[in-house]
């Protein structure tokens, strides 16, 4: 028997304020009916007198006096199927084109945190094809490593290449595109499908209801968990753009009339982002894994902005873009001195560590000399300092800048050629054997 309740008294955007119904709790699934229109919703806030229902759909034409709510007393679930691999789906895991008639199970999009006692420590590297990441800020299976992008740069191209050239055994790529404009979404889907037909895309367009942007990363991660922990896949989840997610969170919070925090974002944004980012890792007894790469665009290039600041606290490092490198025509414009992978040392070899340390130290020294030369002029520099300037230029244009992917071997062969620009006396981080691989080669 269907039981429907009346009690709606305010509609603000996609938020419906409703008199509290006894027994109804947070995050429960709701069906709303108004005349011949039927919509889904989620209970997003409850107190003794008022509950807030986030309406999942277009609210145009709803008459608040005619709205009736049916509470299902269970959370919102999505249907899951292996047939979703290689398809584009919406925020509710419905295929955008075509119909998936069969599905294997339904799952809650908010399953809760993984038990830390059941996690395995990440220890296997994932090759991204980008030398500046693989050598100096290595991505590890099960890690969550965000990318701090900048507006106006080739962010779409970077995400496309990242999704299509990541290399790991038995892998599956899931791209969650959040709040995308149509032309950008079309570019992403077309570029990816032309290079790899096995990538699953979850797509939320900018003209959809704001709440869909909050649902999409959780929907994408629910599918990723199904493929990882039930089907044994090593899933890489790319969430792009998390800035759109945070802005949607701020908009919903403002409509709820909650007390704002820094720059208007809700005070609970830390825990909200953590509920997404922490859905990554390796679980004991499970064959698969989830590696997460959230991509966010820094507002006003501000790395201290709440979105980046909180993301950095929760995750295990960051890949930071540089506007100055972009102006030089370098792609991907990754600032290796500002980037970091906190789990890198747990997985790479000791040789990898020493080469990465030497590259980083040499490049950092070169950048200091480059800054000094801009003041006194290059003619006043010593011969050694001029070699560092040459190393810096070559590092930017040949190591960071790349049109085609490189594997780890190719990356370090190029690194050895670059280090040879500098005298052997400057190589303080390498073993005698490794020095021989650089300076004894003709």
Structure tokens at 239: 């969430």
Once rounded to an integer, what is the mean pLDDT over residues 341-349?
Answer: 94
Report d(CA 385, CA 192) in Å as an integer. 44
Structure tokens at 420: 């040879």
Give per-residue pLDDT as tens, 89-133.
999 999 887 666 678 889 999 888 888 899 999 999 999 999 999
Top pLDDT among 256 and 145 is at 145
Pick the CATH number of 8-75 from 3.90.1150.10, 3.30.70.890, 2.40.30.20, 1.10.540.10: 2.40.30.20
Once rounded to an integer, what is the mean pLDDT over residues 66-75?
Answer: 91
In the prediction, which pLDDT does 350 show?
Answer: 96
Once rounded to an integer, what is the mean pLDDT over residues 144-160?
Answer: 96
> Phi and psi dihedrals of 38, rounded to 5?
-125, 130
In the predicted model, is pLDDT for residue 317 greater than 90? Answer: yes
List the chain domain ranges: 8-75, 79-345, 351-439
Residue 312, Cβ neighbours under 10 Å: how many?
Answer: 17
Once rounded to an integer, what is the mean pLDDT over residues 355-384?
Answer: 92
Rg of the chain over Cα atoms, rounded to whole angstroms, equals 25
In the prediction, which pLDDT does 374 show?
Answer: 86
DSSP one-letter string for 288-307: -EEEEEEEEEEGGG-TTSHH
Helix boundaries (H) for 13-145: 131-134
Q: Looking at the DSSP assignment, which residues form a beta bridge with residue 236? A: 173, 291
DSSP one-letter string for 356-408: HHHHHHHHHHHHHHHHHHHHH-GGGS-HHHHHHHHHHHHIIIIII--SS---H
Residues constituting the chain: 442
For the CA atoms of 289, 142, 236, 322, what is the dihedral angle to 10 degrees?
A: 180
Structure tokens at 291: 């590696």
Top pLDDT among 300 and 376 is at 300
Report d(CA 393, CA 201) in Å as an integer. 38
Report d(CA 74, CA 340) in Å as an integer. 41
> Phi and psi dihedrals of 372, rounded to 5?
-65, -40
The least confident of 193-202, 238-247, 256-265, 385-394 is: 193-202
Give, as one character, the DSSP assignment of residue 21.
P
The least confident of 95-104, 323-332, 370-379 is: 95-104
In the prediction, which pLDDT does 6 show?
Answer: 92
Report d(CA 79, CA 77) in Å as an integer. 7
Give per-residue pLDDT as tens, 160-189.
999 999 988 899 999 999 999 999 999 999
In the predicted model, is pLDDT for residue 215 greater than 90? Answer: yes
Structure tokens at 361: 């130290």
Report d(CA 348, CA 140) in Å as an integer. 9
- 131: left (phi > 0), else alpha (psi -120 to 50), else beta? alpha
Report d(CA 420, CA 385) in Å as an integer. 14
The least confident of 1-5, 49-53, 147-151, 227-231 is: 1-5
Q: Are the beta carbons of 338 and 364 closer than 8 angstroms?
A: no
Among candidates 259, 293, 299, which has minimal Cα distance to 276? Answer: 293
Max distance between CA atoms of the chain, in angstroms, equals: 88
In the prediction, which pLDDT does 301 show?
Answer: 95
Residue the block writes with tokens 């969170």: 249
In the prediction, which pLDDT does 442 show?
Answer: 59
Among candidates 336, 357, 344, which has minimal Cα distance to 434? Answer: 357
In the prediction, which pLDDT does 13 show?
Answer: 86
Among candidates 308, 385, 307, which has minimal Cα distance to 339? Answer: 308
Give per-residue pLDDT as tens, 232-266.
999 999 999 999 999 999 999 999 889 999 999 99
Q: What is the mean pLDDT of the chain?
A: 93
Alpha carbon 142 to its chain's center: 13
Report d(CA 242, CA 275) in Å as an integer. 13
CATH 3.40.50.12240 fits 79-345, yes or no: yes
Among candidates 369, 387, 375, 359, which has minimal Cα distance to 132? Answer: 359
First-to-last C-alpha distance (Å) of the chain? 83
The rounded percent of the chain whose pLDDT value lies above 90 is 78
In the predicted model, is pLDDT for residue 441 greater than 80? Answer: no
């Amino acid at each position: 028997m269907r039981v429907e309740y009346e009690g709606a008294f305010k509609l603000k955007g996609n938020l419906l304020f409703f008199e509290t119904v006894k027994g109804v709790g947070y995050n429960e699934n709701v069906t709303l009916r108004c005349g011949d229109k039927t919509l889904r919703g989620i209970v997003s806030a409850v107190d003794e007198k008022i509950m807030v229902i986030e309406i999942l759909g277009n609210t145009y034409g709803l008459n608040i006096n005619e709205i009736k709510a049916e509470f299902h007393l269970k959370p919102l679930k999505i249907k899951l199927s292996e047939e979703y691999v290689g398809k584009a789906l919406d925020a509710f895991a419905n295929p955008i084109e075509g119909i998936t008639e069969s599905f294997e199970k339904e799952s809650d999009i908010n399953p809760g945190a993984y038990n830390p006692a059941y996690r395995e420590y990440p220890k296997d590297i994932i090759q991204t094809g980008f030398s500046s990441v693989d050598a100096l800020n290595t991505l590890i299976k099960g890690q969550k490593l965000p990318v701090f992008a900048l507006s106006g740069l080739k962010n779409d191209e970077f995400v496309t290449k990242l999704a299509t050239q990541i290399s790991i055994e038995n892998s599956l790529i899931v791209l969650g595109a959040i709040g995308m404009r149509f032309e950008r979404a079309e570019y992403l889907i077309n570029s990816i499908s032309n290079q790899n037909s096995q990538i699953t895309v979850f797509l939320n367009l900018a003209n959809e209801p704001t709440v869909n942007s909050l649902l999409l990363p959780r929907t994408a991660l629910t599918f990723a968990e199904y493929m990882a922990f039930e089907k044994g896949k090593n899933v890489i989840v790319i969430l792009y753009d998390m800035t759109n997610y945070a802005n949607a969170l701020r908009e919903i919070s403002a409509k709820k009339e909650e007390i704002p925090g820094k720059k208007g974002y809700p005070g609970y944004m830390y825990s909200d982002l953590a509920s997404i980012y922490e859905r990554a890792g390796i679980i004991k007894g499970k064959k698969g894994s989830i590696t997460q790469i959230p991509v966010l665009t820094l507002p006003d290039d501000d790395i201290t902005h709440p979105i980046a600041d909180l993301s950095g606290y929760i995750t295990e490092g960051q890949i930071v873009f540089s506007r100055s490198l972009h102006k030089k025509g370098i792609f991907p414009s990754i600032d290796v001195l500002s980037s970091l992978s906190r789990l890198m040392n747990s997985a790479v070899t000791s040789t990898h560590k020493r080469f990465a340390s030497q590259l980083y130290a040499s490049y950092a020294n070169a950048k200091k000399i480059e800054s000094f030369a801009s003041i006194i002029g290059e003619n006043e520099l010593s011969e050694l300092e001029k070699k560092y300037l040459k190393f810096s230029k070559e590092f930017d244009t040949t190591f960071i800048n790349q049109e085609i992917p490189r594997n780890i071997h190719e990356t370090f062969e190029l690194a050895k050629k670059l280090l040879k620009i500098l005298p052997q006396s400057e190589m303080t981080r390498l073993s005698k054997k490794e020095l021989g691989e650089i300076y004894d080669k003709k």
